């Protein structure tokens, strides 16, 4: 009024906090040398719409959207993605994320390890149809170790443990069973033979 400004009693209040999205557990399946399938879910959007969701991953704990991010749509519900450019023999840390107009939240972390490339697995060599100067040999490649078998066959010699520096017969490539005939052998001679895979 003409004398000044008068104020009533001060009261305080707190505005509501936005409820953030609720995420389920993140899981990894079908893990191979360079790929994996990730699964996650958002069970509640909270007070604001989920505008982006997906996965974050890296080789160190607690990845965020500043690491490698794969977006998988928006909204609530379950979602999956396939990672196809991973490194073999590597441990990855993964979290799913949900983002709204205010912030981003993450699920609990899970880890998985891609297997390391290894040597092919070569089965036992069998020998049959032995004659004076020949014999039939057979074997199989049961696993490729994560990379294509580019050459396979048999090596043989008159000394134990022959290698590809001894007599060698190439029989195609890839996994599976294969056989060949050793020819021009010496009569009455002990030979050592085994299969190989490169």
CA dist list (Å): 189 to 138, 149, 160, 184: 20, 32, 13, 12
What pLDDT is stored for residue 142 in this prediction? 95
What pLDDT is stored for residue 159 in this prediction? 96
Mean pLDDT by 10 residues, the chain (198 residues): 95 93 97 96 96 97 95 97 96 98 96 95 96 97 94 97 95 97 96 97
Q: What is the dihedral of CA 143, 145, 147, 148, to 10 degrees?
A: -30
What pLDDT is stored for residue 163 in this prediction? 96
DSSP string, 115-135: PPP-PPEE---EEE---SS-E
What pLDDT is stored for residue 82 in this prediction? 98
Give exposure, 29-66, as e/b (b: 16+ Cβ within 10 Å).
eebebbebebbbbbeebbeeebebbbbbbbeeeebeee
What pLDDT is stored for residue 14 in this prediction? 94
């Amino acid at each position: 009024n003409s004398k000044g400004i008068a104020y009533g009693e001060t009261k305080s209040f707190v505005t509501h906090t936005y409820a953030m999205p609720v995420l389920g557990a993140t899981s990894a399946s079908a893990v191979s040398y360079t790929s994996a399938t990730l699964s996650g879910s958002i069970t509640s959007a909270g007070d604001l719409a989920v505008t982006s969701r997906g996965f974050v991953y890296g080789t160190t704990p607690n990845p965020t959207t500043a690491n490698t991010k794969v977006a998988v749509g928006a909204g609530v519900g379950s979602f999956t993605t396939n990672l196809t450019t991973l490194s073999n023999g590597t441990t990855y840390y993964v979290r799913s994320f949900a983002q709204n107009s205010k912030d981003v939240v993450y699920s609990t972390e899970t880890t998985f390890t891609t297997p390391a490339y290894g040597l092919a697995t070569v089965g036992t060599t069998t020998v049959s149809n032995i004659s004076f100067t020949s014999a039939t040999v057979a074997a199989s490649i049961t696993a490729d170790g994560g990379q294509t078998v580019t050459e396979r066959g048999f090596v043989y010699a008159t000394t134990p443990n022959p290698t590809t520096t001894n007599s060698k017969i190439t029989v195609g490539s890839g996994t599976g069973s294969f056989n060949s005939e050793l020819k021009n052998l010496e009569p009455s001679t002990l030979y050592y033979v085994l299969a190989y895979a490169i």
